[in-house]
Amino acid sequence: MSMESAELYRVMTMHMMNSSSPLLFQNGSDAENKSDSLFSDLLNVLLISIQKNSAETGDLNGSVTPYSASQNTTDDALWQSMAQALPPLDLRPVHHPGKQPVAEPGGYDGLIRRAGEKYAVDPRLIQSIISAESGGNPSAVSSSGALGLMQLMPDTARSMGVTDAMDPAENIDGGTKYFRQLLDQYNGRADLALAAYNAGSGNVDKYAGIPPFPETQAYVRRVLAQV
């Protein structure tokens, strides 16, 4: 049997980093402590074997090379004992409950296209609004209470016939319908409609244009730049 020390180190490190390994639970059950002790004893024997072999062969890299048929048999038995002392590696993927998956805006192409055709709004503009409003997260809720992909306020959602603002299909339909109304209100000017979408029609009317709010001005530039 032959095994490089680098490979040995990799195998041992994988087991030591495994969360289920008894090496990480010093105050565990008696069975775990016994397994820990057995593994440690076997590991010490193996390391001594490597050092002895390196000294005898002059191999400074510490590789384990065959001595004889009887020595190989002993090594194989040693490795089998170590394998039995170690718990199996848990290679299942780690999941983090509570984190909402975030979809790219492009993941809703079909819904965006249908809403765009229904309300005569450029689909690229709808997608850009979604990106700016929620980053494509259908579960997004702002500090002001705006909901979903297109960040509809509850009153706006109800007025657009949306019963579940967290549902992507309803949210995109309602948000696009609302934006269509703003486009009509401002004679097709997308910049003013976007400003009203962000800051409200009252502010656009008050300032007779895009309000002098840094957030709103940046929002309008950002959305239009992606179309």
Go through the domains of the chain in sequence order and give each one's CATH number: 5-85 (no CATH), 105-225 (1.10.530.10)
CB atoms within 10 A of CB 197: 26
Q: Kindly report the pTM of this predicted structure.
A: 0.55
Sign of CA dihedral 141, 170, 220, 187: negative
- Helix-helix angle 123-134:168-185, to 10 degrees: 110
Question: How many residues are listed for the chain in this entry?
Answer: 227
In whole angstroms, give the CA distance from residue 39 to residue 43.
6
Annotated catalytic residue within 7, 56, 104, 133: 133
> Which residue(s) pair with 64 in the sheet?
3
> Which residue(s) pair with 152 in the sheet?
147
Q: What was the pLDDT predicted at 107? A: 75
Q: What was the pLDDT predicted at 105? A: 44
Asked if residues 53 and 65 have their Cβ atoms less than 8 Å apart, the reply is yes
Q: What was the pLDDT predicted at 57? A: 54
Reading the chain (227 residues) residue by residue, the pLDDT tens digits are 444 444 554 545 454 444 444 433 344 445 445 545 555 666 666 666 556 555 555 554 544 444 444 555 555 565 565 555 544 544 343 443 444 444 444 579 999 999 999 999 999 999 999 999 999 999 999 999 999 999 999 999 999 999 999 999 999 999 999 999 999 999 999 999 999 999 999 999 999 999 999 999 999 999 999 98
Helix, strand, coil in percent for the chain, rounding step 5: 60, 0, 35
For tokens 């992909």, the residue is 149
Q: What was the pLDDT predicted at 8? A: 52
7 belongs to the catalytic site = no
Most distant CA atoms of the chain, gap in Å: 94
